[in-house]
Structure 1
Amino acid sequence: MSDLRQEKVTVGDKEYTFQEVPSRQFLKMNQRATGRDGQPILETLYDELLKHIVADPKVKMDDYTTKELIALTTAAMKFQLEEE
């Protein structure tokens, strides 16, 4: 298994530390956040991203406006999916 990345990322005017999760864990996160109809359950997906990829500071959805939340979770997803 390769070393998992950690990186400081600025979203808006706030700095966060993102941590990469192992592939199996990421797939399980996505499965938990997918409904029976195959559509994403955004509340679950955003919770998973904030819990597992946004390492510091620890945050929750209610800390943000919708626009801020979407910006942060989009950045977290891009971080997880990008190559070094």
Structure 2
Amino acid sequence: MAFQPKQKEFKSKNGNQYVFQTIPNSKYLEMMDDSVAANGNPLVSKLYAAVLEHIVVQPSGLTVDDFDSLKELQEVCEAALTFQSGE
């Protein structure tokens, strides 16, 4: 079965609109591997940057510094990761 990306619209608690798009499992696993320190702890700065680059497709080109609040950054990235994992 070939990979078919899926999309989902997401509205943050602040009312901002985003569109998520799934990535192939191999890219997701690579992204997760790249976001873990040698001791096994997550590197959130790398993970969130990768989520914004690869899973959040609208608005395009977002970076972690484009968010006014850390709370919204966390909300969007965690929702995108949940969507990617199919939960």
Normalised by the size of structure 2, how large is the TM-score?
0.89
Q: Which runs of 5+ in 1 are unaligned?
A: none
SS of residue paired to 1:82: coil
1:72 aligns to 2:73 (yes or no): no
Counterpart position of 2:64:
61
Q: CA RMSD in A?
A: 1.1
Q: How big is the shift at 1:41?
A: 0.3
In 1, Cα distance between the equivalents of 2:10 and 2:44? 22
Q: Percent identity at matched positions?
A: 31
Count, aligned residues: 83
Stretches of structure 2 that go unaligned for 5 or more consecutive residues are none
